[in-house]
Structure 1
Amino acid sequence: MTENPGTNAAVDADALAGRFAQMFAALAGNIERVVRGKREKVELALTCLLAEGHLLVEDVPGVGKTTLARAISASVEAKWARIQFTPDLLPSDITGVSIFNQGTGEFEFHPGPIFANLAVADEINRGSPKTQSALLEVMEERRVTVEGVPHPVPRPFMVMATQNPVDMDGTYPLPEAQLDRFLMRISMGYPDHQAEVALLAGAPTGAVLDQMPPVLSREDLARMIDFAQRLHVAPPLYDYLVRVVAVTREHPDLRLGASPRAGIALLRAARVRAAAAGRSYIVPEDVKALAVPVIAHRLIVTPEAELRGRSGADVVAEALGDVPTPQAAGV
């Protein structure tokens, strides 16, 4: 019997998607050992990492933002670094500096903490606009240019920034250009009662983090990233995604709609979600599930709409309801 190459390719893709789903579940389960009761947030953070995006976590102190970052890096044998943003932090404190070596007679580059697989920018809105802008190039191009010389950051690479939405004294709001470089914005939220009881009854978080075994190597993670971005997307889904993004640009409650970067980010995240579900193709539900965390923070609501209690998330939800969902778009 003659084999159909197309059928064999589909079977192979399905098998790889199943393996991807197993590895994704193992990662999430390992992280949940220390970040209890936050499975949805853990999966969103991993989706962001595997889509090669950056994550903005907006929440009050003490809900596990830094713990989440440390748990991710420990689970994939990755290097992590924490940068505490303060008003006196300089751009060179993040990117690194070139220092003259008298022995060799040449300048040597000393990399800053941004040269990590997972860089935690803690309280990013406390840094000055000049310091915040030091992240613009590296978040988009995965490299840092110092004195005209580009220095690539390692792969995988993710900036996980945090900001406190309550204490706004002495802060500098992130500009739209900076917000648009974050693939997602999420809020950790407080744990439920049972999760908080388990947290109090368990071992100290620091000790557990130090003992966490790695689930994947960085090479495994890179292969997962490459596989997810090769997932099949049917033409009707491209059209659907563009229509959802376009609705925000015409909405009367918005001063600024979503950029083309938002559509690209949503597609990358949807591919990861599909692979995590064991599928080798995306479906409209993947787009719908991720549209709010990927798009809402990129929108600017008009002052009149804000007075009515409207938010970017409301507009995205409305756009998903207005745009017809394509039928049988998966295969």
Structure 2
Amino acid sequence: MNFDKQYVLDVLTDILKTDSPSGFTHSVMQKIETYAQELGFAFEMTEKGNGIIMVPGTDNSRTIGVSAHVDTLGAMVRSIKSNGRLAFSRVGGPILPTLDSEQCTVYTRTNKTYSGTFFSTSPAIHVYNDAATLERTEENMEVILDEIVKTKEDTEKLEIANGDYICIDPKTVITENGFIKSRFLDDKLSVAIIFGVLKYLHDEQILPQYNVKVLISTFEEVGHGMAYIPNDISEVLAVDMGCIGKDLACSEYDVSICAKDSSGPYDYAMTTKLIELAKANDLQYAVDIYPSYSSDASAALRGGNNIRAALIGSGVFASHGYERSHYQGVENSMKLLALYLTH
């Protein structure tokens, strides 16, 4: 299988640079729609804002769902402080110490944008005795705008208000030897993986075994991304980040097959089929249990959908911080996904 590496990395870079914390995904979903239509696949949007890409198969008797989420972690303006700085509330679960000194963009509901920086409230070692030891919490951190503001009223004049989104700079770097470093590889890396497979199917004029609906979720990071799925789907293969660390077997170079996460075990037959395909085709893979994790497939099951579900993904190091993977893991994931859809 030959995948278009440059296409995959271009899609990945484009969507990574498009801010899309949960609930603020309209811009990136416009790009998802364009990418799908460029490959000749029909696209529709649900009322919730999730996307569905239709891929016809050779057998119309079943419809397989493949999911990934394009929403990311972020923050919202909780309040404007008397000195014009911003208190914030997290969207999803970014690791707060990793936000210290990170660049960000504030989006107002009047379509203005302002740059800023996350800092602790004791940011200078030459001034604050607890600069290094102060716990990084929402209460002990703030956003300082790149604007001359000294009072709450100064900031309000910029039309910044409570409830405005604060988006974190992803700091995307792709090295010549294949390392992929960025915030929000969870789960935009998986979205790029799916598009890599879609382009492969399109270019090689290969049809999946069954009809496929690709489900692009926009609320996964807050727990209810794919709680609803179309009722013709009989099984869902979630493509999400593979976990790395402690006693887990996965690395950045593998496709991870999740047997169980904190939402419970995944479907035995589907998981076994994925393992057998990986073995038979000499893929670099790992089977793991994720200790603190749930997926769009978990949300679909909790939503009462009568489906089977499984989970795979490229290994991603340092989740919910500044994350790292490698193109080997991406390629192994694309191979396993393509094999699953055609066998």
| Fold match (TM-score > 0.5) | no
Higher helix residue share: 1
Given the two structures, how large is their TM-score scaled by the length of structure 2? 0.30
Higher strand residue share: 2
